[in-house]
Amino acid sequence: MKVIAYDIGTTGLKTCMFNISGDEGVQLIDGEVEDYALHILDNGGVEQDPLEWWDAMGKSTKRLLEKTGTAKEEIKGISF
């Protein structure tokens, strides 16, 4: 069974595909990274834009599926 895991980091999103098998356990198939901005506020604070997270998820997932030759129907779960 193939699953995709997302890690939303400070300046980028990591997208990894794993194969989970009762016989072989968990195996990393491949991964992708997509950067996004860290917005510095006038008061010294920082923010991220959730729409940029969403965009990064779409871009990195599409690249990962294409790179691995995996059809979207083969993905049976996601994790964050």
Q: What is the chain's pLDDT, residue by residue, as a tens digit (80 residues)? A: 999 999 999 889 999 999 999 999 999 999 999 999 999 999 999 999 999 999 999 999 999 999 999 999 999 999 99
Q: Are residues 7 and 79 in contact, defined by beta-carbon separation less than 8 angstroms?
A: no
Residue 18 vs residues 4, 29, 58, 65: alpha-carbon distances, Å: 6, 5, 18, 12
Domains of the chain: 2-79 (3.30.420.40)
pTM, rounded to two decimals? 0.88
